[in-house]
Amino acid sequence: MALNEHLQAIYQDIVARNPGEAEFHQAVHEVLDALGPVLVKYPEFSEHKILRRISEPERQLIFRVPWQNDKNQVEINRGFRVQFNSALGPYKGGLRFHPSVYLGIVKFLGFEQIFKNSLTGLPIGGAKGGSDFDPKGKSESEIMRFCQSFMVELWRIIGEHTDVPAGDIGVGTREVGFLFGQYKRLTNKFEAGVITGKGLYYGGSQVRTEATGYGCVYFVNEMLKSRNLDFAGKKVTVSGSGNVAIYTHEKVTEFGGKVIAMSDSNGVIYDEKGINLETIKQFKEVERRRIKDYCDHHKGARYTPNGRIWDIPCDVAFPSATQNEITGRDAKTLVENGCIAVGEGANMPTTPEGAEIFLNAGVLYGPGKAANAGGVATSALEMQQNASRDAWTFEETDKKLQDIMKNIFQACSEAAEEFGSPGNLVKGANIAGFIKVARAMISQGLI
């Protein structure tokens, strides 16, 4: 995947201007790699320097988050919000709380979000934020105090028409509730549309909790249908055991597939008879326990500490934990073991080497910015409901999500075909997502 001379020069410039941000460089490289034929068809994109403009965030905030732990000791974390692009709508994207968070991760996620949000067809720009705060082992009051302190800085730059955060790794309905409560207190406004992923009883949307996992399965189902295949009887592995992984499991099972392995950052559980979802939900959503305890309740299951989930033979793989979790070696193993489809629930979970192996082997490969767009799409549906003070039923909202995922699959397939890479949904997603944003940027003048 070598860039042409023009794109290589742009890439080198971006790397030089953003030193030490490997994940951001990787995300930019993948988008640039798709755009060669697009710049030939639309020379105005180069004239307006759209690539250099789009890879420079519109605004970035880095702030101190001081808080006190349960022993009354002072703790300091770093908070981030990168408002990347507002060509299509208010900045939109989640918050990640994980010790690995630094500017390079927030920028890769924010950059991906621009194109993902464009693909949803809904009016949302791209952003991301978070903190190097580690929620593991923290009490609920520590989490609350941290969220409140985080919002004491963040509230100045967000708003329902400005920037609308949501969850990501380490941020779910509980954290969104604490963040929203503090925003309300600071602004003296019940501005429901300022954040999404809220609880159902105060402005949240049906299906938002399920949306990323369900949407990813709907997307993979479209890929399978394009080859007259379906989930019935398929062996499936899902990495992670958080929000995205859980609802991927739920929908795969409903579609007749069997999830035989899941994981967390400590290890992998495997059961050829299928992983019991109720136990996972109880452990992860209620008791906040580690996955290794699963085998105490299910004797047929096996736990492997530090195991490699991609070594387990499967028909369909759903990487749903974190970036770069599928290496070239993992992709090779998956292909050799007969994997026919990969749906990226996580953001950028496959390394460039891995992606090339999937594409060359003809694996049905759904890249994150298309396959996991159901989460943010349903966030945009939550914003619509908040704006009209309305609440739709589960069925109505789920039907909209299904239609959105079908449309994304269609748009990616058509763009891949039109620009000379039929079946390559990585190129298709980047091209289809990019063109709309580029046009909107040109229409709005030099800003």
Q: Is 398 one of the binding residues for ligand NDP (CB under 6 A)? A: no
d(CA 71, CA 78): 20
Residue of the chain from 168, 250, 344, 398 that contacts ligand 2IT (CB under 6 A): 168
Which part of the chain contacts ligand NDP (CB under 6 A), choosing from 44-52, 241-249, 303-311, 408-416? Answer: 241-249
> Total number of residues binding ligand 2IT (CB under 6 A)?
11
Token output for 211:
């949306």
Q: Is 243 one of the binding residues for ligand 2IT (CB under 6 A)? A: no
Q: Is 163 one of the binding residues for ligand 2IT (CB under 6 A)? A: no
Q: Closest approach of Cβ 322 to ligand NDP, in Å?
A: 4
From the list ligand 2IT, ligand NDP, none, pick the one residue 93 interacts with, judged by a Cβ distance below 5 to 8 Å according to partner type: ligand 2IT
Q: Is 94 one of the binding residues for ligand 2IT (CB under 6 A)? A: yes
Residue type, 207: V
Which part of the chain contacts ligand NDP (CB under 6 A), choosing from 68-76, 217-225, 260-268, 302-310? Answer: 260-268
Residue type, 46: S
CA angle 217, 219, 221 (to 5 degrees): 70
331-350 residues in contact with ligand 2IT (CB under 6 A) are: 347
Q: Please identify, using beta-carbon distances, which residue of 92 and 234 lies nearer to ligand 2IT.
A: 92
Q: Please identify, using beta-carbon distances, which residue of 105 and 158 lies nearer to ligand NDP.
A: 105
Q: Is 377 one of the binding residues for ligand NDP (CB under 6 A)? A: no
Q: Closest approach of Cβ 349 to ligand 2IT, in Å?
A: 12
One symbol per residue from 274 to 313: x for binding ligand NDP (CB under 6 A), - otherwise; what is it? ----------------------------------------
Residue of the chain from 126, 177, 257, 375 that contacts ligand NDP (CB under 6 A): 375
Q: Is 60 one of the binding residues for ligand NDP (CB under 6 A)? A: no
Residue of the chain from 165, 170, 193, 428 that contacts ligand NDP (CB under 6 A): 170
Residue of the chain from 89, 375, 428, 433 that contacts ligand 2IT (CB under 6 A): 375
The Cβ of residue 50 has, within 10 Å, a number of other Cβ atoms equal to: 21
Catalytic residue among 128, 234, 258, 427: 128
d(CA 447, CA 441): 8
d(CA 399, CA 283): 29
One symbol per residue from 102 to 121: x for binding ligand 2IT (CB under 6 A), - otherwise; what is it? --------------x-----
Residue of the chain from 26, 253, 265, 407 that contacts ligand NDP (CB under 6 A): 265
Annotated active-site residue 128? The verdict is yes
Q: Closest approach of Cβ 243 to ligand NDP, in Å?
A: 4
- Give every CB contact of residue 436 below 8 A, 6+ residues apart in sequence: 88, 118
One symbol per residue from 195 to 234: x for binding ligand NDP (CB under 6 A), - otherwise; what is it? -----------------x----------------------
From the list ligand 2IT, ligand NDP, none, pick the one residue 83 interacts with, judged by a Cβ distance below 5 to 8 Å according to partner type: none
Residue of the chain from 31, 376, 435, 437 that contacts ligand 2IT (CB under 6 A): 376
Q: Please identify, using beta-carbon distances, which residue of 88 and 268 lies nearer to ligand NDP.
A: 268
d(CA 140, CA 307): 30
Q: Closest approach of Cβ 325 to ligand 2IT, in Å?
A: 15
Residue of the chain from 320, 333, 351, 424 that contacts ligand NDP (CB under 6 A): 320
Strands 74-85 and 59-68: antiparallel
Buried b (16+ CB within 10 A) or exposed e, 140-154: eebbbbbbbbbbbeb
Q: Closest approach of Cβ 71 to ligand NDP, in Å?
A: 24
Residues involved in catalysis: 128
List residues near ligand 2IT by CB under 6 A: 92-94, 116, 166, 168, 196, 347, 375-376, 379
Q: Give the binding site for ligand NDP (CB under 6 A).
A: 98, 100, 167-170, 172, 212, 240-245, 264-266, 320-322, 345-347, 372, 375
